[in-house]
Structure 1
Amino acid sequence: MATPQNCLPPNVPVTCLLLIGYTPTRMACRLLELYQVLTWPMLCLQIVPFKTAGRDRSMGRQLQQRQNATAFEQCTKSATMTQSVPLDETIEELTHIWQDLLGMEFIAPDQNYFDLGGDSPLAVQLFARIESRFQVKLPLATLFEAPTIVELAQILRREMAPSGWSSIVPIQPKGLRPRFFCVHPHGGNVLIYRDLSRHLGADQPFYGLQSRGLDGSCPPLSRIEDMAALYVKDMQSVQPHGPYFLGGFCMGGTVAYEMAQQLLAAGEEIALLAFVDTLNWGGSSLPSLWEKSLHTSERLRFHISNFLSLDTTAKKEFFREKVKALRTRIPVWRTMLLGKLFKNSGLGTSETRVLGQIWKSNFQACLDYFPQPYPGVVTDIRPAKQFRSYKKPELKWDQLARSGQVVVVLPVNPAGMLVEPFVKHLAIALQKSIDGAMQNLENKSASKLAQTSNALNDRGKEVPVDLGLH
């Protein structure tokens, strides 16, 4: 909608429009705008009856004209405001909710809730509808800060992820089995879990949790606790309550561990907490240049060992998978290296810079995280062999898992657990772990049911009382 000064007066003939440079398309747009402006007052006008006598009729006509002018000015102002505000989905949905609750056919985005007759009891219904539609819970006091649709929409956008972004990625959302939520490794992406999800089958719902900041709209989180809090919030938009099945590869296991802690503190139940080659790096220092070199040489040796253990067809598949992975990682590594050599150089694409920042931030977050003892059971899925620097006792989780640790060793070396054709071993182990957790839940439910039944039976039994009457 054009601003008032650009609106055409109703008495401008079409020929004049053409003479002053209006093309037919532009003229049609202006006429449509004019029609909208002229029809909006009809929503606001109330017909004022006046007498048929000459003077009374004249006075009534003047009064009506003044009322029409006032109504036109008010409605034009609201219409102008409506057109100047982007009518996105949030504003449209809020408008529908307000219209339904307040019983009004037209509400401008800048009209005040209280001026429209809204009160506290109605606000309870309003915010219940907002929570149901947008999955965002706002306090009733928000109406004092944002009493109009426009302002309330701004609050909702701040509460919701930027541009609709969410850490939840439904890799395979279908199936009747319990949902498995798998947290990203250091790189922040969850594409690495695609083959694992495929091997788990079409009946196993599989959701990935990706790093914040992958879209470049905001910096990555720097603390494991903050990542876990965000991922729990996003996860509960899919599954509000437990029991939860959680896990993650490498760093992802560490974040899943903290998620489990926060969920337990909130009274939720954790059915499975599965680590995939995850170590406790809390309190460790950054590796030296010599340690990095040794790690790289070991990694190369493990790759060669994995490659030689395969037949000809599988070797081709493994090689193809590794080349595909290197194509995505080399640009990130190059950007990170150039960033260290040339500070603020801006080298590398924006995407590789973002991925490099996320990798670095996630790695440092693992070093800064000090996990607390976990009251449940931890399932630790490990490769057959391990890097030398990873064999330190303090990097294990057995001292933190108060209810025990289930260790599963796969017939594969590191750096191959999520790559074809070795990923099938991980899928089998994870599926068995999920099955075992489901069985434990059934046993626990059956035990509770039996205890309840026994308690009810005990209450119903007649207890003989000896009154001493012999």
Structure 2
Amino acid sequence: MRRGDVRSVAPSVIPIQTTGTRPAIFGVHVLGAGCSYYRPLAQRLGPAQPIYGLSAQFAMPPGRKPSVEEYARLYVEDLRRFQPRGPYFLLAVSLGGLTALEMARLLVDAGEEVAMVGMLDAIGPMPIEWVSPVERARRHVEKLALGGTGYVREKIVARVERERDAMRSRMLRWRRAVGAPLQDEDAHLQAALENIELALEFKPKPYEGDVVVFRATEDVYYTPRFHHEARLGWREAVFGAVQIVDVPGDHLTLLQEPHVIAVADEMRWRIDTWIAQHGDRDRRSGVIARPLLDSGQALSEERLSRVSSGPPR
């Protein structure tokens, strides 16, 4: 299917990397400006791995704010027009995780195979247990001792960016309140604010399958109990296993170089594992070829040990 044909058949499907015959990865809802969140991952996975985005947020008419459930239904409809059969590999950044979870539930209810629901540092719907101010201060002291002036510069830049975003958020809310026209650079900030509102309103129905959470290990703001017992907030919404894979970077950098290498390696291994077990199935014809993985791609106990699954529900 040519690039132009994709959008005519399934308007919310956005091509990111269209080459390759491996099972496609679908990024859900939160893609970044120009799909910027997923482009480093596409480059690391290489031209053999197709990646598409699913986003309709900017196509909605002014004042129209669909729910998470409505977005999920729309994406599933377009996804099945574009790829009528599974396997479906869903991947979601942050607040897109709730939409991906609802999509997976709808696909499974329709009898489709969801091979993976991946969450990129996405926190589930359970209330967050925040790290205490004392613990945060202790961590800053440790990082200062290790990073020196470089750590100080990094924190200053981060603080300036947060203040800038807060100022833009206040200005955006004022424009919305008085009906003033929005500037182009406000579009993604408005989308982010709307996603927060949608997440607060969403009450997920339990998903019977498994979920993989790629957990950023820098600047962690929640308690160990929220991590291990609440499974990063997904325990009550997921009845299967919640696997937690630790990756370098923080919430904003885990998909940037060089941290994205770890995410790409994990995604490549999981798709290789599916191919080894099921064959490289063509999305439309159903033809299956069963390639053998070489020793470098074989499943390993070492890789399995890096994945924290938690008890199935």
- Normalised by the size of structure 1, how large is the TM-score? 0.47
**Overall identity of the aligned pairs, in %:** 27
Match of residue 176, structure 1, among 1, 21, 27? 21
Is structure 2 residue 97 aligned with structure 1 residue 253? yes
Contact 2:175/2:181, CA 8 A, preserved across alignment: no
Query: Cα distance, 1:331 vs. partner?
Result: 7.2
Amino acid at match of 2:124: N
Q: Is the aligned partner of 1:263 residue 2:107?
A: yes
Per the alignment, residue 191 of structure 2 pairs with 358
Q: What amino acid does structure 2 have at the position aligned with 1:281?
A: P
1:276–1:380 Cα contact (<8 Å) kept? yes
Q: Which residue does 2:222 correspond to in 1?
A: 388
* Preserved CA contact (<8 Å) 1:271 1:441: no
* 2:75 is the counterpart of 1:228: no
- Could you tell me whether the CA contact under 8 Å between 2:12 and 2:54 is conserved in 1? yes
User: Which of 397, 400, 407 is the aligned partner of 2:244?
Assistant: 407
1:373 matched to 2:218: no
What code does the residue aligned with 2:221 have? F
Give the Cα–Cα distance (whole angstroms) in 1 for the partners of residues 85 and 170 of structure 2.
43
How far does residue 207 in structure 1 lie from its aligned partner after superposition? 0.6
Task: Please say which of residues 244-253 and 216-225 is displaced more in the overlay.
Answer: 216-225
Aligned counterparts of 1:346 and 1:331: Cα–Cα separation in 2: 22
Distance 2:33 2:172 in 1: 19
Report what 1:210 is aligned to.
Answer: 55
Counterpart among 182, 185, 189 of residue 30 in structure 2: 185
1:263 Cα deviation (Å)? 0.6
Shift of residue 405, structure 1, vs aligned partner: 2.7
Matched, 1:275 2:108: no
Quick one: distance in 1 between partners of 2:169 and 2:82?
Answer: 35
Which amino acid in the other structure matches residue 168 of structure 1?
V
Distance in 2 of aligned mates of 1:215 and 1:332: 24
Structure 1 residues 220, 381: CA separation in 2 closer, same or farther (over 3 Å shift)?
A: farther
Based on CA coordinates, which of the two structures has the bigger radius of gyration?
1
Answer yes or no: is 1:423 the counterpart of 2:257.
Answer: no
Deviation for aligned residue 1:398: 3.8
Does the 8 A contact of 1:188 with 1:358 survive in 2?
no
Question: Which one-letter code corresponds to 1:416 in the other structure?
Answer: T
Asked if 2 retains the 8 angstrom alpha-carbon contact of 1:167 and 1:210, the reply is yes
Q: Deviations over 1:333-391 (max 9, x none)?
A: 53421244576345674323433332221111112222222222211211224212796
1:144-183 to structure 2, matched below 5 A, reads 166-183=11-28
Query: Do the aligned partners of residues 351 and 217 (structure 1) sit closer, same or farther apart at CA in structure 2, a change above 3 Å counting?
Result: farther
> Which runs of no fewer than 5 residues in structure 1 stay unpaired?
1-133, 136-159, 161-165, 444-470
CA distance in 2, matches of 1:382, 1:197: 19
**Secondary structure at the residue paired with 1:281?**
coil
Q: What's 2:83 paired with?
A: 239
- Contact 1:383 1:410 survives alignment (8 Å): yes
AA aligned opposite 1:397: W
Give the whole-Å Cα distance in 2 for the aligned partners of 1:390 and 1:226. 34
Conserved? CA contact 1:186–1:251, under 8 Å: no
- Aligned partners of 1:278 and 1:260: how far apart in 2? 15
CA contact (8 A) 1:188 1:210 kept: no
Q: Is the 8 A contact 2:26 2:53 kept in 1?
A: yes
Partners of 1:440 and 1:253 in 2: how far apart?
A: 26
Distance 2:279 2:164 in 1: 48
Shift of 1:216: 6.7
Match of 1:441 in 2: 278
- Which residue of structure 1 aligns with residue 294 of structure 2? none
TM-score, normalised on structure 2?
Answer: 0.68
Paired amino acid for 1:428: D
As a proportion of its length, which structure holds more helix?
A: 1
**Amino acid in the other structure paired with 1:243:** P
Deviation of residue 222 (structure 1)? 3.5
Residues of 2 paired with 1:398 and 1:440: CA distance? 28
Q: 1:228 deviation in Å?
A: 0.7
Are the structure 2 counterparts of residues 216 and 236 from structure 1 closer, same or farther at C-alpha, using a change threshold of 3 Å?
Answer: closer
Contact 1:188 1:211 in 2 (8 A): no
**1:209-236 CA distances to partner (integer Å, 9 max, x unpaired)?**
2242x25744454411111111112222
Please list every run of 5 or more consecutive structure 2 residues that lacks an aligned counterpart in the other structure. 1-7, 281-313
1:396 alignment partner, SS class: coil
Seen in structure 2, the aligned counterparts of structure 1 residues 427 and 272 have a Cα distance that, compared at 3 Å, is same
Q: Match for residue 56 of structure 1? A: none
Q: Distance in 2 between matches of 1:429 and 1:362?
A: 27
Count of paired positions: 260
* Counterpart residue number, 1:199: 44
CA–CA distance in 2 between the matches of 1:250 and 1:434? 22
